[in-house]
Amino acid sequence: MSPFGAYRKVSLCVGSLMFEPRVLSDGQYRAGLDVADSEAVPKHIETGRTGPTNFWKGPHRMQLFMRALVRATIGLVILAALFGSGYAGGWWFFACVALVTIIALWEYYSALRVRGIRPNAKLGGLCVLLILLIIQYSENMRMALRQAGDVALGLQDLNVIINALHLTFLVLLFCVAGTLVCQFRMRSGESQVANSATTVFGVVYVGLLFSFVLRMRYVDVPALTDLEQASEFARRLGGLTFVIVPVWIADSAAYLVGNLWGRRQVAPHISPGKTLEGSIGGLIGAIAGALVIGSWLGLSLMQSALLGAAMGMVGQLGDLGKSVLKRDLGIKDFGVIFGPHGGVLDRFDAILFSMPLVYWYFWFLVMRVGVY
């Protein structure tokens, strides 16, 4: 066997172990188990009883907090990788975001194959990388304009963003045309419509939304709020911190409150484990996190509270949207790279929807964009 052949076999083996979806059994799928979380539906939710009497006693309390601790640890590891490369910026951060995005796209396409759908993974991966490259080059150009003394939101700066959007639309058109051409070799037993549609959807859902992580890195929030004494960390990573930390606080708060006190199911046919009480806890957690990070970045209490509430609601909608996809595909998690806590898409679902919201808020409402 040639070295290339051996490398390909090892890569496929590792990929199948780390990035393949965790599939539900037929019995689990028919029973309607929650596919959005790795834990089964708590018994007090199934029976309609209140939670504290069951959860404050016995070994379940320790198990619950150990799971929450593992979630927090996984989040800290991801934060360390993102913030380490994000502080350096430039192509280091691009490489980190590109790697995470490609893994997420592979998880999504692999999950589709469980249902016999075969998207064009190579074309989708190429289009995602092109979108990320467009964003990176546009941000590099904006930084060059900033260093040349251009105003914070000058005409040239705005033109760079508009041109990047135009190029992104061209990539999406190329993806639509390319995936249709790829279906010329029709195979029996496959749906060419499903193959084409899911290829394009993956580029938009994963690639386009992840591209806002790159964009948010270059938003200098202290410059928007005229905070002159801001630290270097706040200027470089304040935008990312303002989104990621409140969203993950909301996720942990929703998990704890829902397991301890949840009894009213929000969407029983989509995600039986999600409760109204957990959603309220997540919303409060997002607002609290946004208030803390916002005060550090110089945002007003009103701005922080409104953005925190928006992230809390949009993030949970993104989580439910992901659950709809997993429910239809009959999988429990998109991947296993984080062990029992799923894959990249399982951890970044709420962030993918919250990041564009906050980014465009700074563009259209604050109307000044700083870059570092």
d(CA 244, CA 267): 25
The residues, ordered by sequence, that sit 6+ positions from 124 with a Cβ below 8 Å of its Cβ are 105, 109, 175, 199, 202, 203, 207
Give the position of tokens 């803390």: 292
The predicted structure's pLDDT at residue 182: 87
Partners of 262 in the β-ladder: none
Kindly state the tokens that stand for 225. 């709020």
Half-sphere exposure of 284 (CA within 13 A, CB side): 12
Q: What is the torsion angle, in degrees rounded to the nearest 10, for the CA atoms of residue 181, residue 186, residue 191 and residue 196?
A: -10
Residue pair 238/222 in contact (Cβ under 8 Å)? The answer is yes
Kindly state the tokens that stand for 147. 């260093």
User: Which helix (H) or strand (E) segment is 143 a member of?
Assistant: helix 121-147
Average pLDDT over residues 328-338: 82
Of the candidates 97, 112, 130, 352, the residue with the CA atom closest to the CA atom of residue 218: 97
More reliable by pLDDT, 86 or 78: 86
Average pLDDT over residues 3-28: 48
Partners of 23 in the β-ladder: 331
| Sheet strands (E) in the chain | 22-23, 265-267, 271-275, 331-333
Of the candidates 65, 66, 63, 42, the residue with the CA atom closest to the CA atom of residue 54: 42
Partners of 265 in the β-ladder: 275
Give the position of tokens 């009480």: 277
More reliable by pLDDT, 178 or 340: 178
371 Rama class: left (phi>0) / alpha (psi -120 to 50) / beta: beta
Whether the model pTM is above 0.85 = no
Confidence of residue 339 (pLDDT cuts 50, 70, 90): low
d(CA 79, CA 87): 11
The predicted structure's pLDDT at residue 156: 61
Q: Which residues of 317-329 are buried (b: 16+ CB within 10 A; e: fewer)?
A: ebbbbbbebbbeb
Residue pair 262/24 in contact (Cβ under 8 Å)? The answer is no
Single-letter amino acid code for the residue at 263: R
Kindly state the tokens that stand for 236. 């470089």
Residue pair 319/250 in contact (Cβ under 8 Å)? The answer is no
DSSP string, 60-99: HHHHHHHHHHHHHHHHHHHHHHHHHHHHH-HHHHHHHHHH
pLDDT tens for each residue of 121-164: 999 999 999 999 999 999 888 888 777 764 445 556 677 888 88
Confidence of residue 40 (pLDDT cuts 50, 70, 90): very low
